[in-house]
Chain A
Amino acid sequence: MSRSPRLSAALLTAPLLAFLLLSFVAPIGAFLWRAVSDAEVAAVLPRTIVALAGWDGAAAPHDAAFAALVADLREARAREATGPAGGIARAASRLNADRPGLRGVLPMTARRVAAPFDGPARDAVIAISAAWADPETWGAIRRAGGPLSSFHVLAALDLRRDASGSLRALPDDQRVFGAVLVRSLWIALLVTGVCLALGWPLAWLAATARGWAATLLLGAVLLPFWISLVVRTAAWMVLLQREGVVNAALGAFGIGPLPLMMNRFAVVLAMVHILLPFMVLPLVAAFRGLDPRLPRAAASLGASPWRVFRRVTLPLCLPGIAAGCILVFIQALGFYVTPALLGGPGDQMLAWFVGFYATRSVNWGLAAALSLLLLVAVGVCVALYGRLAGFRRPGAA
């Protein structure tokens, strides 16, 4: 074999690449694909969607659309009587995500139109439910026509299209995700700031200490890594709850009980505790990598301690500081368990809503769109980090 060593090395990474593709890229890609794909309604109402193609969205559509709806629903009923069921229910669930109430209207209409009726389809269908006289119902069907749609992505941004297809912001009382995103970013920023403020002195001590003291300090930092995140969060619950350890101790002094849990304080406290090692370790590495002669040289050249810090120590440690901040910030942005267990309704972050829509309301499209939003937010932060701190190694030209 006369392959180059580089090619052999690349081949050795092939199993890893295949593993990543199968276990990481493909599932995440498939999940995110749900944010923009829209197939449930088209599977049940193909003729209706074709009939709505030229509709202006101002008033209820022409009779042909009603006739197509009846034909589609009859065919779907007939199919489900013999084959796999659930198509109508999925389509109804999808339409319900757009227009609450349609979850019941569509199956009911399908059941009632299955029997033959007299007169025009329009009158019969509107007689079954007044919702069919509302152009927004038809708008929802058209928006869900697929195969691709911006519906979920727009919903994640608190936007929607009306029946005529123009973009509208949701009314204030229905907006959710903008505030959640801002809240998530703010909590992540707060946790990063607290981690930096607490981690800096600790990292400095650990980097400058010698012998067993350095081992002890680093061990104390690493210790939390050995315990599961859920266990650590649960431990905070034991400490902070109304009859918990902290309130019992405060009670001995006649204070409290204080509301320590189900609030922002508990969330930030536990997140800082969990994420602190990710800040301290890059900082220790940065401080250890700092040549101790450089601050000395700067002092001998006339720089005051503050100036030494600002002009020499800080710039040289900046890559480590930025690495610690970005590590903590990105992880904090996606936190799920800790806010869910320790926070109140107003402290839930974006990941909690992803979980809610994926598991409880079974709106995979919106869950995927929110994940996409989270991914973009992280991407923007990393890009910002790249611009500020640079991905180049320090000292490189």
Chain B
Amino acid sequence: MSETLVRFEGVRKTYGAGGPAAVQSLDLDIARGELLTLLGPSGSGKTTTLMLLAGFELPSAGRIMLDGRDIARLPPHRRGIGVVFQSYALFPHMSVAENVAFPLAVRGVSKHDQARRVAKALDTVRLQGLGDRRPAQLSGGQQQRVALARALVFEPPIVLLDEPLGALDKALREEMQLEIRHIHQRLGVTMLYVTHDQAEALTLSDRIAVFEGGRVRQLADPRRLYDRPADAFVAGFVGENNLLPGVVESREELDLRVRLDCGPVVDAQAVDCGGAGERCLVAIRPERVAVAGVTAAELGEGALPAVLTEAIFQGDHVRLRLALGDGGAILAKRPAGMSALPEPGGPAAVAWPEGAAFAFRPPA
């Protein structure tokens, strides 16, 4: 791991005396040059964490170190951190160039240098030549680029982005995700990105911290987060997952046999799970579930009998919903054009590779 730029040490934030903690004892390191995403549902504490770093909230306890200096009590304008807000927050009474020049002007940069650096920043976000426009004359995507340029132009050690693409439509959002990623790679600036969109987090991030209930549930790179979620919440929140409830029958090291509530007994890898007799959730990614229009015995060992209830064509793939055992259901995603899909209502079998099923403790 490279050098640490920002360190949260035991940071806690409560609103009002005795109220619930928005952030509970947070320890988090942000490495210089990385793009770290805080991912979580609304109310999970991710935005509060960002506001604590920006200085718009003061922590109830703990230290926030930037470059080895405790900034937890410093007012926002003394921190030198760039922030991009969800609603852009461009100054409507200034032109685009004046908006971007604002952080330079308040730092007393000479007019000549301002003009040069503004032009360079607008170039970076591909808005060259639009400096004289008013923000209201720009599209949502262009406004977001201006906000980005404004947060980058004074070369802060870290830029915070608070759901910056939330107001954009899907196509533009995906384009901007790549653009932010490219700007991050090109400039090497450290970025802290907050979003509730797990696909966006997977696209952009070097590392992702999954927030829930004011805590970090897992901190990992996107691939590991997807392949090896640390608990049932992460397994359900990041990407799609079948979460099948059951009871552990036997445990040997990490190898479990689990009797699902709907009947079948399956093998699973224990991740965060108790021993025999305890309840658990078995997680299987839909794209790992194989489906065939034959009986389970014909498909092979470990295959389970199922009944196809619904098939939804989605262009590049088909989503199959199958009834499993007594009242259970499982979702499978198969590439479109695959032959031998079962008829709805007809006999079918599902199977998954060894090691594709993980068992977690059910959330309290």
Q: Do the two chains bind?
A: yes
Question: Which of B62-70, B74-82, B214-222 has 4 or more CB atoms under 8 Å from chain A?
Answer: B74-82
Is A302's CB under 8 angstroms from B77's CB? Answer: yes
Complex Cα–Cα for A164 and B84 (A): 77
Is A303's CB under 8 angstroms from B102's CB? Answer: yes
A185 CB, nearest partner CB in chain B, Å = 30
B91 at the interface (CB under 8 A from A): yes
B107 at the interface (CB under 8 A from A): yes
A394 at the interface (CB under 8 A from B): yes
Chain B neighbourhood of A307, CB < 8 A: 106
Complex Cα–Cα for A94 and B93 (A): 57
Q: A301-B103, A316-B93 are in contact. Are A395 and B83 (CB under 8 A)?
A: no
Complex Cα–Cα for A103 and B77 (A): 76
B357 CB, nearest partner CB in chain A, Å = 46
Is B92's CB under 8 angstroms from A299's CB? Answer: no
Q: Please name 10 pairs of A and B residues whose Cβ atoms are closer than 8 Å in the assembled complex, sorted by A.
A: A294-B89, A294-B91, A297-B83, A299-B77, A300-B77, A300-B83, A300-B151, A316-B93, A395-B93, A395-B136
Q: A302-B80, A304-B77, A395-B136 are in contact. Are A311 and B102 (CB under 8 A)?
A: yes
Chief secondary structure at chain A's binding surface: helix
Complex Cα–Cα for A331 and B93 (A): 30
Is A302's CB under 8 angstroms from B136's CB? Answer: no
Number of interface residues of A (CB under 8 A): 22
Chief secondary structure at chain B's binding surface: loop
Interface residues of A in 307-337 (CB under 8 A from B): 307-308, 311-312, 315-316
Chain A neighbourhood of B93, CB < 8 A: 315-316, 394-395
B4 at the interface (CB under 8 A from A): no
B150 at the interface (CB under 8 A from A): yes
Chain A residues near B (Cβ < 8 Å): 291, 293-294, 296-305, 307-308, 311-312, 315-316, 394-395, 397
Chain B residues near A (Cβ < 8 Å): 54-56, 75-77, 79-83, 85, 87, 89-93, 102-103, 106-107, 134, 136-137, 150-151, 154
Q: A316-B93, A397-B136 are in contact. Are A301 and B106 (CB under 8 A)?
A: yes
Complex Cα–Cα for A311 and B93 (A): 10
8 Å CB contact of B77 from A291, A303, A394, A395: A303
Is A293's CB under 8 angstroms from B154's CB? Answer: no
Is A316's CB under 8 angstroms from B92's CB? Answer: yes
A320 CB, nearest partner CB in chain B, Å = 13
Which residue of A has the minimal Cβ distance to B107? A302
Complex Cα–Cα for A397 and B137 (A): 8
Chain B neighbourhood of A303, CB < 8 A: 77, 102, 106
A74 CB, nearest partner CB in chain B, Å = 75
- Of A291, A304, A307, chain B has the most CB atoms within 10 Å of the CB of A291
Which residue of B has the minimal Cβ distance to A307? B106
Is A299's CB under 8 angstroms from B136's CB? Answer: no
A313 CB, nearest partner CB in chain B, Å = 11
In addition to A301-B154, A395-B134, 20 A-B residue pairs with Cβ atoms within 8 Å of each other are: A293-B87, A296-B56, A297-B89, A298-B91, A298-B102, A299-B76, A300-B55, A300-B79, A300-B83, A301-B103, A302-B77, A302-B154, A303-B77, A303-B102, A304-B77, A311-B106, A316-B92, A394-B92, A397-B134, A397-B137
Is A291's CB under 8 angstroms from B89's CB? Answer: yes
Chain A neighbourhood of B54, CB < 8 A: 300
Which 8 A/B pairs are nearest by Cβ-Cβ distance? A297-B89, A301-B103, A300-B83, A293-B89, A299-B76, A303-B106, A395-B92, A299-B77
A322 CB, nearest partner CB in chain B, Å = 14
8 Å CB contact of A301 from B92, B102, B136, B137: B102
Which residue of A has the minimal Cβ distance to B56? A296
Chain A neighbourhood of B81, CB < 8 A: 300
Complex Cα–Cα for A233 and B106 (A): 49
Chain A neighbourhood of B154, CB < 8 A: 301-302
Chain B neighbourhood of A297, CB < 8 A: 83, 85, 89-91
Complex Cα–Cα for A305 and B106 (A): 11
